[in-house]
Amino acid sequence: MTPAARPGREHLSEAAVLRLSLLLRSLARLEEDGTDTVSSQALAQRFGMNAAQIRKDLANLGEFGVRGLGYRVADLRARLASILGLDRTRVVVVVGAGHLGQALADSGSFNGASFRVAALFDVDERVVGGRSRTGVPILHAGTLPSSVASFGAEIGVIAVPAESAAAAAADLAAAGVKGILNFAPASVGPFASATVKNVDLTLCLESLAVRLSAAG
């Protein structure tokens, strides 16, 4: 019922989400620096964004600014984190305990304030039962359904070869995760019960390579 606490029922484009997420990270840094208030101008200059776009993005979510002054850093960061759902820790599981899967499971990107990797899954008996370098347990893929439930995992990461990606995604969706981050070079989904985001590493490298010849 509070006027500005109405989270964005408006459609947020993928680009907008990325900008807001980056903005949140920037605000955290400003808060560490002890900055109290910041204008859209200052934010834009500091992070190479467009000031008008920052204002528009924020205004879409509610009125957070103070005219003539700017935005209160700590307050805005807290509200933004709440609206984006990044103010709590989500449990993540990783399917595929190969090098990439273990690297992701151990990485700081997947184990910060907002995320915690609870387990890795694999079918290879040689790794099942062990742990990653930071201690994430490697479980058999057959236990995925029950484990997802007991861990309360909301997000599943796919780090298996391309040919197994579709099956891994189906397993994750059936197990009840709400989001799937797929690193295999094969697009999976869609599923009614889960949002899928494909991060095709081969495509990333290829699109860079294309720029080298086609745009050079």
Given the rule CB under 7 A, which residues bind DNA?
11, 13, 15-16, 39-41, 50-53, 55-56, 58-59, 63-71
Among 104, 139, 148, 165, binds a copy of itself (CB under 8 A): 104
Nearer to DNA, 16 or 167 (CB): 16
Nearer to a copy of itself, 26 or 40 (CB): 26
Q: How far apart are CA 79 and CA 64, in angstroms?
A: 9
CA angle 201-189-124, nearest 5°?
A: 65
Contact between 122 and a copy of itself by CB under 8 A: the answer reads no
Among 119, 139, 155, 168, binds a copy of itself (CB under 8 A): 155
Burial of 9 by CB count in 10 Å (0-12 exposed, 13-18 middle, 19+ buried)? exposed
Partner in contact with 84, chosen from DNA, a copy of itself, none, beta carbon below 5 to 8 Å by kind: a copy of itself
Which pairs from 172-177 meet CB under 8 Å and 24+ separation? 172/93, 172/95, 172/144, 172/148, 174/145, 175/144, 175/145, 175/147, 175/148, 175/149, 176/145, 176/148, 176/149, 177/93, 177/148, 177/153
Give the number of residues in contact with a copy of itself, rule: CB under 8 A: 60
Give the binding site for a copy of itself (CB under 8 A): 7-8, 12, 14, 17-18, 20-22, 25, 48, 83-86, 90, 92, 98-100, 102-104, 106-110, 112, 114-115, 133, 154-155, 161, 178-181, 185, 187, 195, 197, 199, 201-216
